[in-house]
Structure 1
Amino acid sequence: MSDSSSKNAPGDVPRATSGANPSSEDKASRLRALHVAGDPLVLPNAWDATSARIVEAAGFPAVATSSAATSSILGFEDGETAPVEEVLRAAQRMVRAVRLPVTVDFERGYGLAPYELVERLAETGAVGLNLEDSDPASGRLLDVGEQADFLAAVRQEAQYLGVDLVINARTDAFLRQAGTPEEQVATTLERGARYLAAGADCVYPIGAADATVIKTLTEGISGPVNVGYGLGARSVAEFASLGVARITFGPMLQRHVYQTLEATVLTALAADGNPFER
Structure 2
Amino acid sequence: MNKQLEQAQIFHDLHRSGNPLILVNAWDAGSARVVQEAGARAIATGSWSVAAAHGYDDGEKLPFDLVLSNLQRIRNSVDVPITIDIEGGYGRSPEIVKENVIKIIDCGAVGINLEDQWMDGSGLYSVEEQTLRIAAVRDAAEHTSIPLFINARTDIFFQAAAHEYDDTYVEAALRRARAYAEAGAHGIFVPGLCNEKYIERLCRQSPIPVNVMISPESPSLQRLAALGVARISYGPHPYLLMMDALKQASARAIALQEL
Q: Same fold (TM over 0.5)?
A: yes
- Work out whether residues 224 and 245 of structure 1, in 8 Å CA contact, stay in contact via their aligned partners in 2: yes
The residue that corresponds to 2:249 in the other structure is: 265
- Work out whether residues 82 and 110 of structure 2, in 8 Å CA contact, stay in contact via their aligned partners in 1: yes
Superposed, 1:1-278 pairs within 5 Å as 23-111=3-91, 113-177=96-160, 181-231=166-216, 233-262=218-247, 264-272=248-256
The residue that corresponds to 1:6 in the other structure is: none
Instruction: Give how far 1:161 is off.
Output: 2.7
How many residues in Structure 1 have an aligned counterpart in Structure 2?
A: 252
Indicate the larger mover: 135-144 or 53-62. 135-144
Structure 2: any 5+ residue segments left out of the alignment? none
Indicate the larger mover: 126-135 or 109-118. 109-118
1:241 is paired with a residue of what secondary structure? Answer: helix
2:156 is paired with a residue of what secondary structure? Answer: coil
Instruction: Give how far 1:121 is off.
Output: 0.5
Instruction: Give how far 1:220 is off.
Output: 1.3
Larger radius of gyration: 1
Cα root mean square deviation, aligned: 1.8
Task: Give me the whole-angstrom Cα distance separating, in 2, the residues matched to 1:214 and 1:38.
Answer: 12
The residue that corresponds to 1:9 in the other structure is: none
What TM-score do you get using the length of structure 1 for normalisation? 0.86
Q: Comparing both structures, which one devotes a greater share of its residues to helix?
A: 2
- Work out whether residues 177 and 184 of structure 1, in 8 Å CA contact, stay in contact via their aligned partners in 2: no
Which segments of structure 1 move beyond 6 Å, counting only runs of 4 or more?
none
Task: Give me the whole-angstrom Cα distance separating, in 2, the residues matched to 1:234 and 1:134.
Answer: 25
Indicate the larger mover: 230-239 or 102-111. 230-239
Identity, % of aligned positions: 37
1:240-266 Cα distance to aligned partner (Å, 9 max, x none): 00000000011111001111221x311
1:103-150 Cα distance to aligned partner (Å, 9 max, x none): 000000011714312221012111110000010223311101110111
Task: Give me the whole-angstrom Cα distance separating, in 2, the residues matched to 1:225 and 1:203.
Answer: 5
Instruction: Give how far 1:83 is off.
Output: 0.7
2:136 is paired with a residue of what secondary structure? Answer: helix
